[in-house]
């Protein structure tokens, strides 16, 4: 690869050796899915403004999602194929409850794509699975990839996330270590144009440093933590 900019860089870089020094400790360390990790996640969620429910089973979580939406009198939701694959009971349960469920693919042509986005933008809540959560920061880790929609956790004013206990890691560094060792990190990168770490609702303090939620993304993030393994 050659370009005048790259050539200019090549001419001037020092290539000096820089000792990296000792690796710092993990921000938080405990086995994934352990009670210590769950406790820490709960505290972090409270701090960043994620409202959370603990559910014994997947079925209970789905019932919880439906009940929550009903209580808010929400009628239209946006979800995606990735979430439906991991939680097959979700869309049928939503439809049984009389909710209009949008879950599909934006066309690639500009006009139809624009119309599709416009429809998605009317959703009152978005539902996605999380592929992991990080306890130290209260982060929900969502992915694109096959069937993974970026918009479901972005466009609606509320984002509901489904997470299994075993997916809760002490911190991002611990997840990375495992994903690197197993090869999952590179698989994610190859299949997914977007991996998003969501840490609480959309927020701004741009006016007089006063915190306001939901400026562009969701104003509320609701997590359903499922005890049973998938």
Partner 1 sequence: MSTPSPAFRARIREGLGNAVLQEALGRATRSFLISRLKALSDLPDAETVRDRARAIRAHTIAHLDRYLEQFAQEVERHGGKVFWAATAREACDYIVSLARSRGIPMVAKSKSMVSEEIGLNHTLEAAGIRVVETDLGEFIIQLAGERPSHIITPAIHKRREDVSQIFQKHLGMPPTHEISEMTAAARRALRQVFLDARMGISGVNFGIAETGTLVLVTNEGNGRMVTTLPPIHVALMGIERVVPTWEDTEILLRVLARSATGQALTAYTSFLTGPRRRGEPDGPEELHVVLVDNGRSRWLGTPLEEALYCIRCGACLNACPVYQAIGGHAYGSVYPGPIGSIVTPMLGEGNGAELAYASSLCGACQEVCPVRIAIPDLLVRWRQMRAGSLLPAWERLGLRGYAWAARHPSVWARIGRWAMALLRRIGREGWLRRGPGPLRAWTAVRDFPVPRRSAFRDWWASRKGDHR
Q: Which of residues 8-37 bind partner 1 (CB under 8 A)?
A: 8-10, 12-28
State which residue, 16 or 96, has the beta carbon closest to partner 1: 16
Minimum distance of partner 1 from residue 156's CB (angstroms)? 12
Alpha-carbon distance 151 to 154, whole Å? 5
Handedness of CA 105, 109, 115, 117 (dihedral sign): positive
Minimum distance of partner 1 from residue 86's CB (angstroms)? 15
Q: Which of residues 164-203 bind partner 1 (CB under 8 A)?
A: 172-173, 176, 180, 185-186, 189, 191-203
Q: Which helix (H) or strand (E) holds 5?
A: helix 4-12
- From residue 23, give the alpha-carbon distance in Å to each of 32, 55, 158, 209: 21, 37, 39, 35
Minimum distance of partner 1 from residue 19's CB (angstroms)? 7
Q: Which of residues 44-73 bind partner 1 (CB under 8 A)?
A: 44, 48
Minimum distance of partner 1 from residue 163's CB (angstroms)? 17
Q: Which of residues 73-102 bind partner 1 (CB under 8 A)?
A: 80-81
State the burial class of residue 3 (Cβ atoms within 10 Å of its Cβ: 0-12, 13-18, 19+): exposed
Minimum distance of partner 1 from residue 77's CB (angstroms)? 15
Instruction: Name the segment binding partner 1 (CB under 8 A); options: 57-65, 86-94, 103-111, 123-131.
Output: 103-111
Q: Which helix (H) or strand (E) holds 160?
A: strand 158-164
Q: Scanning the structure block, which residue is given the tokens 């209009």?
A: 100
């Amino acid at each position: 690869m050659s370009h005048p900019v790259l050539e200019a860089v090549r001419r001037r870089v020092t290539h000096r050796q820089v000792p990296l020094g000792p690796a710092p400790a993990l921000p938080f360390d405990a086995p994934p899915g352990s009670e210590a990790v769950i406790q820490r996640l709960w505290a972090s969620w409270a701090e960043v403004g994620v409202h959370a429910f603990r559910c014994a089973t997947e079925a209970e979580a789905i019932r919880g999602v439906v009940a929550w939406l009903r209580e808010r009198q929400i009628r239209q939701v946006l979800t995606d194929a990735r979430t439906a694959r991991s939680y097959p009971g979700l869309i049928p349960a939503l439809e049984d409850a009389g909710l209009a469920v949008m879950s599909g693919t934006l066309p690639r042509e500009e006009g139809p794509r624009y119309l599709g986005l416009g429809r998605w933008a009317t959703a009152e809540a978005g539902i996605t699975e999380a592929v992991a959560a990080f306890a130290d920061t209260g982060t929900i880790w969502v992915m694109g990839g096959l069937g993974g929609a970026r918009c479901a956790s972005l466009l609606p004013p509320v984002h509901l996330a489904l997470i299994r206990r075993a997916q809760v890691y002490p911190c991002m560094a611990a997840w990375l270590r495992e994903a690197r060792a197993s090869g999952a990190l590179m698989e994610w990168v190859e299949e997914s144009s977007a991996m998003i770490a969501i840490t609480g609702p959309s927020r701004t303090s741009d006016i007089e440093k006063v915190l306001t939620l939901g400026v562009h993304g969701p104003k509320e993030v609701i997590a359903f933590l499922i005890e049973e393994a998938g």
